[in-house]
Structure 1
Amino acid sequence: MLSDKQLRETEEIKAKAQISHSQPDDLIDFYHLKSRKGMSQLELEDQVQDDLKRATGEFLNRIIQLTGFSDPVYAEAYVTVHQYDIVLDVTVINRTKETLQNLCLELATMGDLKLVERPQNYTLAPQSSKQIKANIKTSNVLERTVIVLNDIHIDIMDYISPAACSDAAFRTMWAEFEWENKVAVNTTITDEKEFLDHIIKSTNMKCLTAPSALEGECGFLAANLYAKSVFGEDALLNISVEKPADGKLNGYIRIRSKTQGIALSLGDKITLKQKGGS
């Protein structure tokens, strides 16, 4: 009887040891309702991780395999997520028997994620490994507002001025410059010289053709104009017009420049002004 009683008491003690000592009126701690005063963000995250470990018995598996086992370079990443950034600890292994030079790990992000550092080049010996850390920041902006601004138009007349050059230099530049804009003559002006003067005034260019070459009444006029921008860019213009029997001028104005902007801007200015407007 004494032996049986002692055995029962021993079993009751073991059973009580497995039962929680919480009483019906004990307080229950809720993590999200606890005060966070005096605790850093890192401490809070560590506490959450410890709670997960107690609940699941192990830490969450965050290792991601990046390459295949048969690839010459094996890589895997351990991901750690914080509130506003993500840290990747990437292990890179050289599985070949050769030294790998200029080995670079490039990562591409999507959405509001952004890489903090630019990728670097590494040298990896045969059968050796390298730990590479990459930081990815996340944007904490909840809403983005975009305001579309009006276009800013810069008048070419504000930065070109009349200039002079020799006929040989003009011909050399005319042959070398690759950008050309060809504008058809379309004007209410009926006199060739008057139209030439109007183009000179509208484009702020200098006429290189001698006045003696423009004298006479032959119904045809050709002249070269030249200007230089404040940035040292050359602007060449050749005007060729004729006056047929009906009295309406026709022909072409050709602009050449080393840069596309000058050729296009001068062409737009001529198209706007050549009809005789202000």
Structure 2
Amino acid sequence: MSQLELEDEIQGDLKRTTGEFTKDGDDANKLNRILQLTGFSNPVYAEAYVTVHHHDVVLDVTIINRTMHTLQNLCLELATMGDLKLVERPQNYTLAPESSKQIKANIKVSSTETGVIFGNIVYETSSNAVEKAVVVLNEIHIDIMDYISPASSADIAFRTMWAEIEWENEVAVNTNIQDEKEFLNHIMKSTNMKCLTPPSALEGECGFLAANLYAKSIFEEEALVNVSIEKQTDGKLSGYIRIRSKTQGMALSLTDKITLKQKGGSS
């Protein structure tokens, strides 16, 4: 092994020894980022490993020829929706029977918005080079949580921003969770946001809770959220989650994320 590989191996051993990470957790995280792009019955099988790093999304696409024919002029054609831009032009490949090919695609991200990547695999067979075959790929949705991180803001600055941003989305509380603080923590975890309301203001059991959440994206976009919930006589929580952001894409994406994740538990 090279010196760099040796150092990486030693560093990994140290992390495992000190319990900094576990192999099972690391493998599970990797598995969550592998997306199946075609069905198992398709003549060409494809899956993608998605890596997000700052302004870049990298797709490591594995393509497997499941037929007994040589596939010629095989091309991975991708397109995007949202603020995503393909960096490279697609290339043509030749794939032998029952062999595989790794294709890397780089995509630039310019704002915090839920983007979609879709496309096809186009190829010709050696038996029929006249007619092209097309396999439609499953869509890849880019998670905005990869671009948002908790941030701090002074109370006065938060109130000023809240007053300046007129555009707002509102989500009605609909959850299986029955504890106000547990629900707040669940929303914070689901959105990568920080609670600006001090813990002392959240103490006690009064059946009502109001808190302000704040986060920033890697593009310096700010997200403001107000959570207001009340416990009903039947034990269920009701109320509203209000989302404000200067960029419409970020506010809409956060609204979708909260709507999807707010129920808690296994949902």
**TM-score interval (norm. to shorter):** 0.3 to 0.5
Higher relative contact order (CA 8 A, sep 6+): 2
- TM (normalized to structure 2)? 0.48
User: What TM-score do the two structures reach when normalised by structure 1?
Assistant: 0.46
Task: Report which of the two has the higher share of strand.
Answer: 2
In terms of Rg, which structure is larger?
1
